[in-house]
Chains A and B, each alone.
Chain A
Amino acid sequence: MPDDVTQRLRAAIDAAATGLVARRPVVELLLLGAVARQHVLLLGPPGTAKSEMARRFAAAIDARRFEYLMGRFTEPNELFGPLDLVRLREGEVVTRTEGMLPEAEIAFLDEIFLGSTAVLNTLLGLLADRTFLRGHQRMRVPLRLCVAASNARPDRPELAAFADRFAVTAHVEPVPDARLEDLLEAATALRPVEPVATLADVDTLAERAAHVDLTAVRAPYAAIVRALRTEGIGLSDRRVVQGQRLIAAAAALAGRTQASGADLWPVVALVPGAEDQDRAREVLAPHLAASDNPTLPGAAEAHSASAPARARRILDQGRALLAAPRDGTDRWRWRLEGVGREIDAHFAEDDRPEDLSDLRARIVAALA
């Protein structure tokens, strides 16, 4: 049974993802990043709810948020704050950071790769060391998670090192055709998010993650990295180490004190390119077959296509639909049929977990 902290964080994901279509796995990755103290890069075309996800996630955990759309001419003071002119007259270069990025607990930076060298250099220290350095000013920042967004990965080599600071990459595509009606319906029902968890809850899980025993997964994880290299999908040493923190965070969010084969799926999110992530998922299927996470079911399934993760996601989805008020519309039947179809499509009758068979029986009864 999950404890209160984990329950609240699950509720935070529910709250943040409600009203967004096909975005829950990405919201789950934001929580994973926050707990692992690793930053997240969202890549995708404009208008795919990248900023909305970050906004809603920050609200759900009651975090102080800073958000900015960067451009080629963005000045450092637009992110970090203006110089304190009074102190400047006294000969000191001090930045006034009130309400600016150095004081944010969650940051969202759109079009991040458009930033100038001056901006990105200061940002690098802030992201890597949680330290704001400007002139002689040095301060620890409360940043738990930076979510950056861009249409595409940078092709300039000098930006590649900066991009490598974002351990998790999520590719966000427009809502698929089959879910357009859901998008239109959700858009009219989107409500502001009230806090249901706290930053202290995230910190508690981060502390647990720091103490997760990784002994049992080191060899399998190294085998995974080798398998990726054999496929021509290289991960920097930095990424490989970051991956360990993501695995520990996944274990902590699943309520485990020892990481297991069920927690290796975040390695797919370490792979930067979309096509490489697809290949990684395919190549690593045998390594990730046991993937499962009760707090991050969508992300676990999306990154592993494992049967346990899929079963859990279908169970959560089906139970939520059956528990929701029956509006008597065909949309409700359509959604329920969709769950039934997913069960039959992915699980042969004699291979089906018992709880999935129970859910199927309840769906048949509800549709009768």
Chain B
Amino acid sequence: MRVDWVRRAPPLEARGVVAVGEAARRLRDRALARLPGLAGVAGDGLLVVLAEPARVPWVDGATLIGPDPRAPRLWTPVHVRPTVHPALVAEALGERTLVWEGRRIPLVDAAPLGPCALGAWP
């Protein structure tokens, strides 16, 4: 199934943020200052932080993300949507997944972030 991505209006409600590289390190620092109440996943140079909308940390260079209301297992940047029905994309992906810049980042293992784990990353 070919999926293209186009501008979404109005944008999704931001319930998380993703960043790589230096932006991810800044995001980690801000997330540490915002604990508790955050969940997330981390990978090689990549950090995803999930939170209630008013608690989502913000740094320059990070991308705000949110669940598609028509297929909540599919997470995307807030200003983007697939050209096919999001439920089809979510079905194809299976578990709760963030699709961002060509990457598929599983969110199913997102866990509450704590100072130890977050402080030790990357």
Contacts and interface: CB of A to CB of B under 8 A. Distances in A.
Interface of A: 176-179, 305, 330, 333, 337-338, 340-341, 344-346, 348, 360, 364, 367
Given A340-B58, A341-B14, A341-B56, A348 B64 contact: no
A330 B33 contact: yes
A145 to B, nearest CB: 33
B78 interface: yes
B54 to A, nearest CB: 3
Interface string B10-44: 11011000000000000000100100000000000
Given A305-B10, A330-B33, 15 more contacts: A178-B52, A178-B53, A337-B57, A337-B58, A337-B59, A338-B54, A340-B58, A344-B64, A345-B11, A345-B13, A345-B64, A346-B11, A348-B11, A348-B79, A360-B60
Contact of B60 (A178, A333, A345, A364): A364
16 contacts: A176-B54, A178-B53, A179-B54, A337-B58, A337-B59, A340-B58, A341-B14, A341-B64, A344-B14, A344-B58, A345-B13, A345-B64, A346-B11, A348-B7, A367-B59, A367-B60
A330 to B, nearest CB: 6
A337 B27 CA distance: 12
Contact of A178 (B33, B55, B58): B55
B30 A345 contact: no
Contacts of B55: 178
Contacts of A338: 54, 58
A279 B52 CA distance: 24
B27 to A, nearest CB: 11
A340 B62 CA distance: 11
Contacts of A337: 30, 57-59
Contacts of A305: 10
Contacts of A177: 54
A179 B57 CA distance: 15
Nearest to B78: A345
Contacts of B58: 337-338, 340-341, 344
A346 B8 CA distance: 11
Contacts of A345: 11, 13-14, 64, 78
Contacts of A341: 14, 56, 58, 64
Contacts of B33: 330, 333
B84 to A, nearest CB: 21
Nearest to B62: A344
Name, among B33, B60, B64, B78, the residue most crowded by chain A CB atoms within 10 Å (CB to CB): B60
B20 to A, nearest CB: 16
A364 B54 CA distance: 19
Nearest to A285: B10
A360 B57 CA distance: 15
Given A341-B14, A344-B64, A178 B7 contact: no
Contacts of B64: 341, 344-345
A58 B59 CA distance: 41
A330 B54 CA distance: 15
B79 A178 contact: no
B8 to A, nearest CB: 9
Interface string B66-100: 00000000000011000000000000000000000
A367 B56 CA distance: 16
Name, among A305, A338, A341, A364, the residue most crowded by chain B CB atoms within 10 Å (CB to CB): A341
A345 B13 CA distance: 7
A305 B10 CA distance: 10
B6 to A, nearest CB: 11
Name, among A176, A179, A305, A346, the residue most crowded by chain B CB atoms within 10 Å (CB to CB): A346
Contacts of B57: 337
A27 to B, nearest CB: 22
A43 to B, nearest CB: 24
Contacts of B53: 178
A320 B60 CA distance: 20
Name, among B10, B58, B64, the residue most crowded by chain A CB atoms within 10 Å (CB to CB): B58
Nearest to A361: B60
A348 B57 CA distance: 18
A364 B33 CA distance: 17
A337 B62 CA distance: 12
A104 B26 CA distance: 56
A346 B52 CA distance: 16
A62 B72 CA distance: 52
Nearest to A336: B58
